[in-house]
Structures are given as C-alpha cells and as structure tokens.
Structure 1
Amino acid sequence: MPESRRAFFLSRYADILSEGEALNPRAPPSGKRGRPRQSKATNLLLRLRTYTDDVWRFATDPGVPFTNNLAEQAVRMSKVKQKVSGGFRTKKGADAYCIIHSYLATMHKQGANLFHALILTFQGQPPQPRLA
C-alpha cells in the first residue's frame, strides 16, 4: 500500500477512535482500590488505540494476512470437542484427534475435497498434501 494511502487510512482510523472515545468516555475513579470498571466499548477502543501498529500490520508487512482466522480455526475445534465431551479420555485419543484434524485442515487449505480424501484414506490410499 502506498505511504500516502496508509497515512490517509491511519488518520481516518484515529478520527474514528476519537469519535468513539467521545461517545464512550472512560469511567471516573470510584475512590475504591484498583481501576474502575469500563464498558466493553471503552475497553475495545483502548485496545485499538494501544495496539494500533498491530491492528494495521497487514498494511505495512505483506507477509501478514488480513485476518488470523485460520490460526483461530485450528484451535477452535479441539476446544469445542474438549468442552462438549468434557475432555479426551486418553492422551492417545487426543493425539489421534489432533493428527486427523491437522491433516484435514491442511487438505482444506490446499483446496482438496475432504470427503474424497477421507474415502481414499480409508481405502489405504491417502492423498498427500503438497509441500511448500
């Protein structure tokens, strides 16, 4: 992204945060120990302002993806499985689940038909993922 466009977007971003902070002011000190409780909107605005460089890293570093959804998705299913089932019964079962999930995630990222890949795997001919 050209520097002039990035500067424009960062300026607009700062303006939007300022507007949000005006509409969601920080709670004043309550006189009790510790920090006063803030609203969810105020906490979000504070994080967006504090981590501006991280939020906009995709615009300065071409190697950084726009979102981290793939990384989150890789962890999400095992956490759901753990919550729904109350956990894995054995370490061996957890390891098997992670291996299968990792393989299917890789095949999905490479555009393979997962159902077809599973059929071939059960027939003893698992398709191999392409190496980078």
Structure 2
Amino acid sequence: MRVPADNNGCDRDIRMIKLRQKVSGCLRTLTGARQFCAIRSYLSTATKHGISQFDALRRLAEGRPWMPATT
C-alpha cells in the first residue's frame, strides 16, 4: 500500500536525498551519502531551533558549531 507524501518535517528531510539521488543518478559512495545526511540533519535541526542555515554553516566553518541547548 502506498501512502501519499504530506509536508511534515520527516518527509521534507528525506525528500532532499531522494531528489539528489534522482538528479545525479546515484550517490557515489556510502560515505558521501552519510556526510550529505549529516549536513542536512544539522541544518534541519538548526532551522527548527530558529537558527538560520547560513549562520549555522558560518559558525561551523569558523570552528564553533551551533549546538542545541540541552535540558
């Protein structure tokens, strides 16, 4: 049984890797796929906490990555 996609966060996060796979024909290595997913996950979490993706990437490049607060 096929379930139609909705627009929830999990579907959006998975959709990007499927789109990349469709455009390029494949993900060249398992390592590359893992790295892509790690970056997308980091950006998705930052966005959900109100941090812009650009700011999250800038801080990461500066060697002081944004981390969500723990309670």
Q: Find the counterpart in structure 1 of residue 53 from structure 2.
A: 114
Within the candidate set 96, 104, 124, 2:63 is matched to 124
Supply the AA of the counterpart residue of 2:28: R
Q: Find the counterpart in structure 1 of residue 13 from structure 2.
A: 74
The structure number with the bigger radius of gyration is 1
Stretches of structure 1 that go unaligned for 5 or more consecutive residues are 1-66
- Among all aligned residue pairs of Structure 1 and Structure 2, give the percentage whose two residues are the same amino acid: 42
Instruction: Calculate the TM-score normalised by the size of structure 1.
Output: 0.47
Q: Find the counterpart in structure 1 of residue 26 from structure 2.
A: 87
Supply the AA of the counterpart residue of 1:113: S
Tell me the matched-pair count: 66
> Pairwise CA RMSD of aligned residues?
1.6
- Which structure's relative contact order is higher, taking Cα pairs within 8 Å and 6+ residues apart? 2
Stretches of structure 2 that go unaligned for 5 or more consecutive residues are 1-5
- 4+ residue runs of structure 1 moved beyond 4 angstroms? none
